[in-house]
Amino acid sequence: MTHAPMFHVGNRIDNQIGNARSVHGFTLTELLVVISILVVLLGISVPAFKSLIGNNERTLAEGQFRAGISVARDAAVRSIQGDSAAVFVVRNGRVVIIPCIEVGTITDSVIGLDGQDTGLTETRSVFVPFDQFEPITIPRGWSVRGYAQPNTTGITTGWYESLNDLTLQGNWVSPETDYFDRESPQSGWNRQSFFVRFEAGTGAALYVDARPAIVIDPAVLETNEGFRAQAPFNDPTLNWNPTKTEAEELDGRPLATRVRRLLGKRFGAPGQPTLAQVREVLGDISPDTIYCRPVSELALFEERDLASGIGARDVNVATGNLFGDGANPRATPNQPSIDITLFTDGRDEPMALGDITAWIEGRYRPANAGAGVEPTESTARIFTIQRYRGQVQEIKP
């Protein structure tokens, strides 16, 4: 019997290994082709993914916006003591909608520029947070502005004094509740915002004849220093002050009850505080309050869309919007002013404020744009509140 030489088997094994290598290996050309395909797929999928995230955030922002107003309206339907309000504030760089309830009225001083008393007075509703409902927070990076009717802002009203040069026109105003000097006991006039008011029992929206309001919102301090270490807040005889924050200073009653009892007192009577004293801790001048006026139209938008839409470099680092201290952009400002350093074309604050309103309404054009240039596209969505049903209705997508 003859046998095949063993080297033929070895050759076959070597050939099989070589074939395997040739089957499973990749040439440089093939690798480059695969990488090119992956780059193309990433180029297609990343924008789609970003668009998906953007749509989800937009949906969430609108959902929270509608929920905040709906909760405030529900509070009015349940209330038997006073109207309710959806109050818009800024906390830690995010817009928050606080359901509040009316507990009384106060005759307050109208504060003009630089915290100066104008000598005018105004009867204002007093609202406190409704403790049966939680505040609703709008996603970070999104903002809500309210439409201030012509002749409602400026020095004579004490509402958004920075718009005094623009008071003859309507303006879209932002909540200015987090930009004040926590070291000054008379810095509260910088805290101002807007609200949607609902009639107790019916839930109907009140904005035509609704009076302005003081909203009690005790300022949060990191320590027990700041303005509370100064007069009148450090006066131990002010045991009637309902905004005191130390546990041993409270009488166990809810804030609404304490404020309502104080407003029901006969000011100036023996043993009772004077109206001037009450104004210091519950009036517009106090850091524990927010001065608000009613609005019927609201705009929802992303702050970076607004910034790029009117030609700003970006939003302020500390605030996440166009407010800020240009000299110290990483610090929360002590007053609500536009960070003008975000603009490179020499715009001043009144110009920037006017541009914001124009962009929201879809009519903003750069100053150097020609007559035939179309307005910059606005992504702001504008809503109104139905008067009798008190529900949100979009009027501009």
Confidence of residue 119 (pLDDT cuts 50, 70, 90): very high
| Burial class of 58 by CB neighbour count within 10 A (0 to 12, 13 to 18, 19+) | middle
| Residue-wise pLDDT tens digits, 235-262 | 888 888 998 765 444 566 788 999 999 9
Provide the percentage of residues in the chain whose pLDDT is more than 70.
88
Give me the mean pLDDT over the 328-335 stretch: 92
Query: Residues 203-214: what's their mean pLDDT?
Result: 89
Residue with tokens 């702050």: 303
Of 45-59, 174-188, 316-330, which gets the smallest average pLDDT? Answer: 45-59
pLDDT category at 209 given cuts 50, 70, 90 is confident
CA-to-CA distance for 340 and 323, rounded, in angstroms? 9
Among the residue ranges 7-16, 27-36, 120-129, the one predicted with the least confidence is 7-16
Q: Residue 312: which H helix or E strand, with range?
A: none
How far apart, in whole angstroms, are the C-alpha atoms of residue 72 and residue 130? 9
Going from N- to C-terminal start, the domains of the chain cover 46-396
Q: How many residues does the chain have?
A: 397
Report the alpha-carbon distance of residue 354 to residue 349 in Å, rounded. 9
Using DSSP bridges, classify how beta strands 392-396 and 205-206 pair: parallel, antiparallel or unpaired: unpaired
pLDDT band at 341 (very low <50, low <70, confident <90, very high): very high
Q: pLDDT at residue 169 above 60?
A: yes
